[in-house]
Amino acid sequence: MDTLGFDIGGTDVKAGRMGPNGEVREETRFSTPVDQPPEELVSQIANAVRKLGSSLPVGVACAGIIRARDGFVAASPNLPQLRGFPLRSALEQELSRAVAVLNDANAFVLAEVRTGAGRGFHDVIGLTIGTGVGGGIVLQGKLHTGRSGYGGELGHVILDASGRLCACGNRGCLEALVCRAAILEEYAAQGGRNAADPETVAHRAAAGESAAIRTWDAIGARLGLGLGSLANIFDPELFIVGGGISKANELLLKPARVTLEDAALAPTDQLPEVRVAELSNAAGWIGAAAQAREIE
């Protein structure tokens, strides 16, 4: 049977219909309603369900700290309107059926391990870099989210206690140092001309502009510090870096590997590989659609 997946991010909601073997049948997206009550988001998802295949099982991935047991959103740094919202029960009421709800980055890493860059690996750490930075931990083939499901928030690992303010309220989180906004700030600090988005900074770096190259070197170095710390904790086989920012590819990953090597304690020849995601921006909804198969 086909299933539907949704990925609620800080900027937009990506969605699609997936076939039984992971085939992408249809994809769509709409802007995340901000400054509106969460019920508006729920009703927009329900509308999209009607268009994509109203009777199919639904999985929803959401940026935020989500209680696994009942899909309650305890906090969501980039979607503050969802704080304390019973997302799963609201969706179930609106759609009159059981719905699977999970963290967006957890959905991303599940999808990448099943059908993307992590195929064949068992110990994988995934990071998605965009408006926020999400994390997913797969150990021995299984997603690890801790006692209540709140774990795996790797974007909020603190790298610099006096660093840039994070959307979560702490300072110097990995997210605060490498997210979209941080890249644009770094580019301005490096003397870069106006850039509306990190993609522009990536194009300029690829064209040889030195402020843009220095920006990716600085952002990559910060990412590598985070990866090095995570390598020291988990000793994974592979890091997968996804989200919109991962399109910068080696501009980001090359400097990241350098600081990863410096920060990690394991022998250099045994450090994890670092790859960009294969499913790009679709991984979140694909992982959610896969999770919809687990609904009993």
Q: Which is nearer to ligand BGC, 9 or 38 (CB)?
A: 9
Judged by DSSP in three states, 13 sits in strand
Q: How far apart are CA 224 and CA 222, in angstroms?
A: 5
Smallest separation, CB 36 to ligand BGC (Å): 19
Q: Which residues contact 239 (CB under 8 A, 6 or more apart)?
A: 124, 125, 126, 127, 227, 230, 231, 272, 273, 274, 275
Residues in touch with ligand BGC (CB under 6 A): 9, 63-65, 77-78, 103-105, 128, 132-134, 153, 155, 167, 175
For the bound state, the minimum distance from the C-beta of residue 260 to ligand BGC, rounded and expressed in Å, comes to: 21
Q: Name which of 145 and 215 has its Cβ closer to ligand BGC.
A: 145
Between 9 and 57, name the residue whose CB sits nearer to ligand BGC.
9
CB of 291 to ligand BGC, least distance (A): 15
Q: Collapsing DSSP states into helix, strand and coil, what is residue 292?
A: helix
Shortest reach from residue 288's CB to ligand BGC, in Å:
12
Identity of the residue, 155 or 224, whose beta carbon is nearer to ligand BGC in the bound complex: 155
Instruction: Report the SS3 class of residue 165.
Output: strand
Cβ distance to ligand BGC smaller for residue 176 or 195: 176
Instruction: Indicate the residue type of 250.
Output: E
Which residues sit opposite 17 in a β-bridge?
4, 26
Contact 283, 108 (CB under 8 A): yes
Q: Residue 183's closest CA among 151, 152, 213? A: 213
Give the CA-trace dihedral at 17, 142, 150, 131, to 10 degrees: -50
The nearest distance, CB 109 to ligand BGC, in angstroms, is: 10
